[in-house]
Structure 1
């Protein structure tokens, strides 16, 4: 029998949207990781709503991509309310928290860009890796890379793939017909390669929906002339986003080659959860979110001809596309549900409480 989890604080690194909890309860928004964690642990969460505006510090944070103000506020809150465990849902807060959290507080930090050369250099220079009880990367490839780069014990670095709400994002009966190829999202997207590929396929209609809840897509294509078969669509909220996926015969997730190995994983997961076949760029982390040849086709970064060929092959073979979509749905249900993710975070939290490291 596991012992109760000590007082736990969950650190989210985005500001809460007003009415978000009500939207989740009403079924118009997918479940949110930090809300689910606080419910599971009967604890509290903090986000950017905790910090006061400070223009110089805000500018510095945008340059170094670290949430310094949030980390300082969290450290004060931990001391004041005697929290014993902190779960940082991003390294943006987790890195500076390594410097300011009391050493007796257990700390799990989730890295979304774990192979960033700048971050790795900073961590090594300040020896921050010794201040985290568990480092969780969002792919096995990144977990292995961080373990090697930082000289961490293998039991302190784990893969914790991002989850998807498979109840919210699921295939449903609809009058919407799957009539387009669609690409969605903004982070680290290689839309130049995708648009060039679509220009070779003038008979296939395509929707580009650039933007996300975290990244604005404004201006990404302002200097590009789109082919006649490609139309730019507005960003939509989650309940409308499901309709966009229902309209998609194929979902394409083109990613730039960079150290952001798992960029695009959320779009890939949602597409598969909605029963749609995926074409994505082959990246070490992103590849772990699909089964190549079964739920998705992977193409090399920047290869216009390979991407065009992959799109045409699925467009011209609707039976294969349908089977890939069904396989993708099974994959999400079996491996990537938000409840499985919550179970794993709870397991890791108990483990690090029972196995504290010497600092």
Structure 2
């Protein structure tokens, strides 16, 4: 069997969306088809010992395309007979591609994740992305939105192909039980709108807070559950206090990955009115939280930023709203709370769609095809 060298900075036990993405893809590959070159992180030895494929760690917290990294990659190509390579994030490690090709690696694939749309918008980083793409056979994108931003700069230098993140439909499921979460935060039997995300301006939690009085006017017992931590937390707490919403808005702080399904399940509706900022440099690449919520059988309300609308079938699995207007967000939420049967119908449609389109076996099959020369 041919073997793939995976070169990545983004790998557990370091936490993050890209790390989860890369690890989930590799977990679904034949273990004897892989060898991983990664940066180091506390707990790496214990993590790697449980894996079915070999992982070699460079003694650095940030793997860069240096001569030392190139030598380590070439040693693995030679030792394991690798004929394909996959870069967990194309920039900047994809700069190693020409060196690996000269050593006999026949097919090289590099992934992008969303932030690269900002890279290609700026002259210096655009040239770097073009150089990387020229050395790769395939550059992947996570959504049609990101493809549309990458293509003008990269098309003609490489092949672009979609490789989106997937959802673990066995973890994120309508069977997830939110009762303990409701009890923990004193939510009782109230209708709950939940947002699971890092607390940063792009995600739009402030818009939820601004529109929440309109929701309360129609559903006085409703609760807003903001799950996650981040730099916007202090400002959100001030906004909640200024509007006198302390009794109906709960900020949980950071929550462990294992607890996320229960937090989605604690809500009746999921909402994250994400918006694009900084002239398009701060944008939602796709929005996996919408798909995880849908997998849990919850209707979703999404903003229009970037690829987020691609994670919602508007009017079927939820609604896409203009995140600039708290009134529009509040109207979508009250509409779902007004009609619980319709909300459950949308949640069921979302679950079916995620199983069909976004489950990890489907995504892993996409990667298998992309790794074929």
Following superposition, the deviation at residue 90 of structure 1 comes to: 2.0
Aligned partners of 1:183, 1:73: CA distance in 2, in Å?
Answer: 43
Following superposition, the deviation at residue 210 of structure 1 comes to: 1.9
Matched, 1:302 2:321: no
Structure 1, residues 240-262: CA drift from partner, whole Å, max 9, x if none?
22111111001112212134554
Following superposition, the deviation at residue 100 of structure 1 comes to: 5.5
Tell me the secondary structure at the aligned position of residue 200 of structure 1: helix
Indicate the residue corresponding to 1:138 in structure 2.
142
Per the normalisation by structure 1, the TM-score is 0.78
Aligned partners of 1:109, 1:30: CA distance in 2, in Å?
Answer: 13
Per the normalisation by structure 2, the TM-score is 0.76
Following superposition, the deviation at residue 264 of structure 1 comes to: 5.7
Correspondent of 2:260 among 241, 263, 278: 241
Following superposition, the deviation at residue 30 of structure 1 comes to: 11
User: Is contact 2:11–2:23 with CA below 8 Å preserved after alignment?
Assistant: no
Indicate the residue corresponding to 2:165 in structure 1.
162
Structure 1 pair 94–175 and aligned structure 2 pair: CA distance change class (3 A): closer
Correspondent of 2:228 among 204, 207, 210: 210
Structure 1, residues 193-240: CA drift from partner, whole Å, max 9, x if none?
2221223323221111124xxxxx2x3221342132211103222332
Correspondent of 1:42 among 33, 42, 56: 33
Indicate the residue corresponding to 1:356 in structure 2.
none
User: Is contact 1:107–1:133 with CA below 8 Å preserved after alignment?
Assistant: yes
Matched, 1:192 2:183: no
Matched, 1:253 2:272: yes
Aligned partners of 1:119, 1:79: CA distance in 2, in Å?
Answer: 33
Tell me the secondary structure at the aligned position of residue 64 of structure 2: helix
Correspondent of 1:14 among 10, 13, 19: 10
Matched, 1:275 2:282: no
Residues 105-124 of structure 1 mapped to structure 2, 5 A cutoff:
105=105, 106-113=107-114, 114-117=116-119, 121=123, 122-124=125-127
Following superposition, the deviation at residue 34 of structure 1 comes to: 4.3
Structure 1 pair 175–165 and aligned structure 2 pair: CA distance change class (3 A): closer
Moved over 6 A (4+): none
Following superposition, the deviation at residue 98 of structure 1 comes to: 4.5
Indicate the residue corresponding to 1:23 in structure 2.
none
How many residues were matched structurally? 318
